[in-house]
Structure 1
Amino acid sequence: MDKELKKGILEMLVLNFLSQRNFYAYELNRKLNEVVETNESTTYAIFKKLVDKGFCKHYFEESTTGPMRKCYKITKLGLEHLEVLKKSWMEISKKVTLLIDDKKM
């Protein structure tokens, strides 16, 4: 899969997961890998980008098994951005499906 396309999909997936509940970083990385194969450095770069843009926030939470966990939660701005991404994805996916199925647009 194209690297830039994959990053865009991962960004949307991270925000979508965070719209359901808060996640700690390792757990979210594992969840992403169930959908799209990725490495930790790519995932953490996406987390940083989303935090820098104000789409999510991070905080630290106590862990019963080791060091504190870095957790992420979506912001209002992130929820709004997610809706834009979903709408764009649906439009593009519909057009690509039509082209692949060789139907007229």
Structure 2
Amino acid sequence: MPVNTQFKKGVLELIVLLSVYKKDMYGYELVSEVSKVIDVNEGTIYPLLKRLTNEHYFETYLVESSEGPPRKYYRITSLGKERGRLLLKEWNAFHETVNNFIKESETYDER
């Protein structure tokens, strides 16, 4: 079942921050990693990477590639780690609140 576009927008930044927290990644690698969780394309990820870099959550560096031009890698900064922790805390609280509401509304399916 496809995920609602608004749901994806709301959690995409968190998924990208957590992915780069695990290891430095280049753009296409990050698209592949995020796509394991939600369906995204390069046109969605690259503007987000640019914004996160401009906001100092990521820093970039180039690595030579045997398959073409150098790749731009993204590394999370201490500010990015802080942002990731905040978003994760907010996500967990939101998720718990929504799930509790759904559990309390289980009779909805029976109508």
User: Is TM more than 0.5 here?
Assistant: yes
Q: 2:20 aligns with which of 14, 18, 22?
A: 18
Secondary structure, counterpart of 1:93 in structure 2: helix
1:89 maps to 91
Deviation at 1:44, TM superposition (A): 0.6
Contiguous gaps of at least 5 residues in structure 1: none
| Structure 1 counterpart of 2:30 | 28
The reply on whether 1:70 has 2:72 as its aligned counterpart is: yes
| Deviation (angstroms), 1:2 | 3.3
Letter in 2 for 1:96: V
CA RMSD of aligned residues (A): 1.2
Amino acid at match of 2:78: K
- Is 1:2 the counterpart of 2:5? The answer is yes
Give the letter aligned to residue 82 of structure 2: E
Q: What stretches of structure 2 of length at least 5 have no aligned partner?
A: 106-111
Q: Normalising by structure 1, what TM-score?
A: 0.91
Q: Which digits, 9 at most, give the CA deviation of each residue in 1:17-66, with x for residues without a partner? A: 11111011110111111110112111111101101111011121100121
TM-score (norm 2): 0.86
Which residue is equivalent to 1:38? Answer: 40
Residue 68 of structure 2 aligns to a residue whose secondary structure is coil
Letter matched to residue 69 of structure 1: R
The total of aligned residue pairs comes to: 102
Query: Which runs of 4 or more aligned residues in structure 1 lie more than 3 Å from their structure 2 counterparts after TM superposition?
Result: none
TM-superposed CA distance for 1:102, in Å, is 1.3
Q: In the TM superposition, what are the counterparts of 1:51-70 in structure 2 within 5 Å?
A: 51-70=53-72
- CA-CA distance at 1:7 after TM superposition: 2.4
Identity value in percent: 35
Paired letter, 1:2: T
